[in-house]
Structure 1
Amino acid sequence: MFTKVLVAEDYEIANQGIIRVLQEEIGIQNIEEAKYCDEAYLKFRKALQDQTPFELLITDLSFKEDHKVQTRTSGIDLIQDIRKIQPDIKVIVYSQEDRPDKINMLFDVHTIDGYVCKGQQAIKELVDCITGVFQGDTVQPPQLADRNTNEMIHLDDLDMILLEELSKGFTKKEIRVKLQEQKIKPNSESAIDKRVSKLFDDFKAKNTTHLVAIAKDLGLL
């Protein structure tokens, strides 16, 4: 079982609840906590420098703002930055977010290892999730397991490039030129048109601004 875990959660009650589950239900004793993403990141860096790295990160997605200026303001920011310095870290998201599309994006784009939705079954699901992730499984919540996979949105590298370039204000023609210069295929006008149209359909976006807003809300940008 995991021996060193960091819990990033800004609500004290939820934080202590997770720690109690880790200690009493699973038997993990070496647990540190952080109420801010920057604080969690610094603890990861120090643990790596001390050659005593964390094995598991359990993090919420949203963190309340206060007087402190934070470089990382969300769980997604934290996951991305920690993965840059510790690529093999196991990550479980523990959040109130229950939208299947947003949860699915966390697995597809941010390659999290497990997800637990806060609720009546959260304690049991958290124990099962930690156990499964330790065994090498990717543990999805019932919100995804019970949904038809054909209904889910799956994005590849080209889709992500298109979303990023559209968010910067580039036109499809300008994006096509950039793809051709970088030798990224497919890069024909018709291929890009089809991809962008599919993104509009998948996300039910009315226009480019709406599409970018949805992508940002899902943590894709």
Structure 2
Amino acid sequence: MMNSEYISNPLFENDGTPQELKSGEEFSDLKIIIFSVEDKPYKIQHLYKNIKVDGYVWKNRDGLKELKNAMHAVSTTNQFYISPELNTTVHPKKVLEITDFDVFLIASLSTESLQEEISKSLKKKGCFTSSVNAIEKRLKFLKEHFNASNPTHLVAIAKDFGLV
């Protein structure tokens, strides 16, 4: 008769091999490092803030070296590790949080809506920031932040980031 601690759990396939693990919950202390070619700030921010991964390494020419650094850092500290090239994506003072308002503005621009039409749409939705002046200021700020030369260029950049 088998020792009861080796009885397989229904969470694992019973292949006749004694199982020492009872469930995946036994891995709750595992560190998670993402190793990806993705460099879009909003995706990295999502993994960092919402999924609570322990590290993010960008697959580039130095990716394997950075992965080794990340594994060492994550195993010896409780701090989030990120490739140096992407550090500004999670640094709280340098990150621009894209709001639903920003996405709406850019999406409206992508359909060639005029700022006056965007203002009317926002007023219909009951949005408190709906004046043409507020829209102009925010679009100017977004263009400067993304180094866009004009509204069309801003839309193109936003599409590249997957925002619209």
TM-score range, shorter chain: 0.5 to 0.7
Residue 16 (structure 2) aligns with: none
Structure 1 counterpart of 2:98, one-letter code = L
Matched, 1:202 2:145: yes
**In 2, Cα distance between equivalents of 1:138 and 1:152:** 16
Give yes or no for contact 1:92–1:112 (8 Å, CA) kept in 2.
Answer: no
Given candidates 37, 56, 60, the residue that maps to 1:96 is 37
Structure 1 residue aligned with 2:58, among 101, 110, 117? 117
Structure 1 residues 18-75: Cα deviation after superposition (integer angstroms, max 9, x where no partner): xxxxxxxxxxxx9xxxxxxxxxxxxxxxxxxxxx9xx9xxxxxxxxxxxxxxxxxxxx
Shift of 1:180: 0.6
Match of 2:83 among 101, 116, 141: 141
Alignment of 1:1-221 (within 5 A): 93-97=34-38, 102=40, 104-108=41-45, 111-113=46-48, 114=53, 115-118=56-59, 119=63, 120-125=65-70, 139-145=81-87, 150-221=93-164
3-state DSSP of counterpart to 1:116: strand
Task: Give the whole-Å Cα distance in 1 for the aligned partners of 2:74 and 2:110.
Answer: 35
Q: What is the CA-CA distance between 1:201 and the residue it aligns to?
A: 0.9
- CA positional deviation for 1:176: 0.9
Larger C-alpha radius of gyration, 1 or 2? 2
- Cα 1:162–1:138 change in 2 (3 A) is farther
Q: Give the TM-score, by structure 1 length.
A: 0.46
1:210 Cα deviation after fit:
0.8
1:180 to 1:163, Cα distance in 2 relative to 1, 3 A: same
Amino acid aligned to 1:121: E
**Total equivalences in the alignment:** 126
Identity across matched positions, percent:
32
Q: Is the 8 A contact 1:173 1:189 kept in 2?
A: yes
Structure 1 or 2: larger strand share?
1
For 2:113, give the aligned amino acid: F
Structure 1 unaligned residues grouped into runs of 5+:
5-29, 31-51, 56-90
Give TM-score scaled by structure 2 length.
0.59
Find the aligned partners of 2:125 and 2:84 in 1 and give their Cα distance.
Answer: 41
Structure 2 unaligned residues grouped into runs of 5+: 1-10, 12-22
Letter in 2 for 1:157: D
